[in-house]
A and B are shown apart, each in its own frame.
Chain A
Amino acid sequence: MTGSLSAQNIVKHYGGVVALSDGNLDVHAHEVVALVGANGSGKSTMSKVINGVVVLDGGQLLLDGNPVQFSSPQAAKNVGIATVFQELSLVPQMTVAENIWLTREPLNQFGIVNRKVVKARTEELLSLFEGTFKTDLNPDSPVASLSPDEKQIIEILKAISFDPWLIILDEATASLDSRQVQRLFELVAKWKELGRAIVFVSHRMEEIFRIADKYSVLRNGRTVGAGNIKDINEKQLVKLMIEKESVLGFLRGEAKSDERIEKEISLEAENLTTESLRGVSFKIHKGELVGIGGLRGQGQRHLLHSLFGDVPYSGTVKLFNKEVHFKHPREAMKNGFALVPGDRAKEGLLYIRSILDNLLLPSWRRYGLPLKVDKAKKDATQVGSNLNLKMAGLDEPVSSLSGGNAQKIVIGKWLMRDPQVLLLDDPTKGVDVGTKAEFYALLTRLSEEGKTILFYSSDDEELIGLCDRVLVIYDGMIRTELSGETLTKQNLIAASLGVAHAAREGGTQ
């Protein structure tokens, strides 16, 4: 059986963006290596290089000391490398069994797929996670009908179904609940014993320290540290991951002044219900910076999008004590709302269009007929300089910008309209540290100017450092509201996992 895989000095770029400039990873049988890094550090790219999905531009891969090149995902599979992806590789229209066995279906002598064998083996695999899924998960369920955690389990089963020696778990626990994570870790322990190697790509400290033997840290595309888990603690690991001690350092010291928060209630929701939300109610004051917390996929996106008129909902929403019900983003915009969506490539930007076109998209109507382009350019330049936007020119396509600058455009197009309520979905995802600091300053300044801000972040530090209050959503409802003294990391994590407001001492360790 294979014993080791070594990635040395890996270089990878996508067009003009450098994802990896010096990536290194050493994996051996019988061990779990945690591949750690902040968002945008190159973790996912690293795992894609190892499993053959992307071509590396520099460096080499060594299998048991011998150089290898993977020309396709199949090549990596052939040497026993399996990956559990973050963005699932399941075909929604096909069943659980069909997805698990795709390309490796057991055949009978006529080349026909042997259904009995498929069903039996699938049930065998499903039994590994028995008792951890809510519905009746069986081999013939269409994947489209499964919940995100069930889909993730199928993805895991698919990966181990061909008995690989190296398993890459790329943020595999993101959609799983605690019971499923526990079961997964039990399986990982068993695999270790059998001689398999596991690469655990994650940024969840608690899980890393629970399961990993070794660690390897990526920062901005370079490997900056590696070693044994027992020789390091969480704080040191975090320090390796980010350049500064804490980007929010300058905010932590300041007391969040309560004068900023006015008495007037600007935004109120009562029993807001959508497909993913089961009756959310809250009151937000003018000038308040409220955060939404919780694991991804608990309904946060729907909350923001329904307030913006993009998702139908039932329930009551009041703006400055007047009831509103937006059926389309245009209505929300007219009432001073703005939404910075979670996926800028798919929801926030027009990639092949110019910076000018992107910044002005919601606002062209204000420029007359025929459009006064010069005035638009002036206004756009103004916003650009306010945001410290680094660009070659307004007519350049947005695709020429770096992640942080592109995100500035997404916010910029709304700032041009001076919105009263700002909704943001994970605004600093995939943004470099320097730009993050600029965003934090911007959001704070806006709330001081009296704007109401409601934003979701998957980054606990961000929520703690920036927000006056955090509403933690779990399974479609607000489980806990944390503020002031109760707004701590422990409480946040506990609430995210569904544990109601934990006592001050205790909580998860």
Chain B
Amino acid sequence: MKQSRWDALTSRQPALFALILLVLSIVINFILQPNMFARETLNSNMRVFLPIILMAIGQAIVILGGGIDISVGGIVSIINTVLATRVGLDGSAERMWQFVFMSLLAGIFAGAINGFFIAYLRLQPIITTYATSFLYAGFALFILPNPGGGIPANIAALYRDSTPLNLPLAFYIIAILLLVWLYISSTRYGKFLYAVGGKPEAAYETAVPVTWIRFSTYVISGLMAALAGIAITMLSGSGNADIGNPMTLNSITAVVIGGNAMSGGVGGVVGPVMGAITLGIIQNIISFANINTWWETLVKATIIVMALAAPGAINLMRRRRS
């Protein structure tokens, strides 16, 4: 069956669409905000985008493996509330790093719980992580019933003002993670991941350790959510048990925009990272567009739904044409 060149290109490089969207949104943002690439603005933007980018990376890996993680928002909330209460506004730097380390462990542990139920007990990913999302969100609320607490101001400032070589700190973090992904995807583990997400029965018959691979994706997602929790705590400087709630859907949307197939086995991590940045820029554009505050929530939500609908709409048009 002949495919048009456009179709062939986009099915081989799923992230292409994400790239186009990203460029488009940057252009529009630039028009509305000409100083977009100035050091201060760039730094500020990247800091704000970083949490979602981190979550998108984790979510991308889970979705590649054929699953999905709805509990990431809850994990972010736990990390945030723990840091805000245990370290506190007048905590020492040492204590901060201590709890940063514990947060990573907590994220891994939360991910392992998800992984256990889904990979070993073979429960459905969506409903399982939905249940754990409630569990985790409840736990965050338990730790910090009312917004408050915080992290030491100097540490928040560290995050805010670090610009090694005039580039935002966030850039380096993302670059490192992308390099790590590049390595992982070139190893056997990477191949296993795609196989498990693409066709689990075939992977099993080829003796791919399906259960362990699935488990590992949830651990990675939990770890990335913990990193995102740390990032957002550094950003806001304070604690709020509801902080993770809206982030879950954003992480999924970023992955969808990024060209990964929701069914698994197709896509990568670069696309979702671009998707996350695009989402962030779109939020910026909306702020600049001077929309009535009352309408802001509706507009943002509608954009998310449209972003989620885009790949499906494109596929529909493709099918109609052929």
Contact = CB atoms under 8 A, between A and B. Distances in A.
Q: Do chains A and B touch in the complex (CB under 8 A)?
A: yes
Interface of A: 53, 72-74, 77, 85, 88-94, 98, 102-103, 105, 107, 110-113, 158, 275
A93 B186 contact: no
A73 B209 CA distance: 10
Given A92-B198, A102-B191, 9 more contacts: A73-B204, A91-B198, A91-B265, A93-B198, A94-B195, A102-B192, A107-B187, A112-B187, A113-B186
B206 interface: yes
B203 interface: yes
Given A53-B205, A102-B208, A112 B183 contact: yes
Contact of A72 (B194, B202, B207): B207
Main secondary structure of the interface of B (DSSP, over half): helix
A112 B186 contact: yes
B122 to A, nearest CB: 16
Contact of A103 (B199, B201, B207): B207
A94 B205 contact: no
Nearest to B190: A113
Given A93-B198, A112-B186, A113-B188, A85 B205 contact: yes
A503 B194 CA distance: 52
Contacts of A107: 187-188
A74 B191 contact: no
A167 B199 CA distance: 23
A91 B188 contact: no
B150 to A, nearest CB: 42
Interface string B208-227: 10000000000000000000
A96 B266 CA distance: 15
A93 B205 contact: no
B1 interface: yes
A92 B202 CA distance: 9
A247 to B, nearest CB: 34
B265 A103 contact: no
A103 B188 contact: yes
B198 A102 contact: no
B187 A111 contact: yes
Contacts of B192: 102-103
A102 B186 CA distance: 13
Contacts of B198: 91-94
Contacts of A103: 188, 192, 206-208
Interface of B: 1, 183, 186-188, 190-192, 194-195, 197-199, 201-208, 265-266
Contacts of A275: 1
B288 to A, nearest CB: 40
6 contacts: A73-B205, A88-B202, A98-B194, A102-B192, A102-B206, A113-B188
B76 to A, nearest CB: 31
B10 to A, nearest CB: 14
Contacts of A92: 198-199
A89 B206 contact: yes
Contacts of A72: 207
A222 B191 CA distance: 40
A93 B197 CA distance: 9
Contacts of B203: 91, 102
Contact of B194 (A74, A89, A90, A93): A93
B199 A91 contact: yes
Contacts of A77: 207
A92 B201 CA distance: 12
A93 B266 contact: yes
Contacts of B190: 113
Given A85-B205, A89-B205, A105 B194 contact: no
A94 B188 contact: no
A298 B219 CA distance: 46
**Most chain A CB within a 10 A radius of its CB, from B1, B183, B190, B195:** B195
Contacts of B187: 107, 111-113
B265 to A, nearest CB: 4
Contacts of A88: 202
Contacts of B191: 94, 98, 102, 105, 113
B284 to A, nearest CB: 35
Contacts of B201: 89
A39 to B, nearest CB: 21
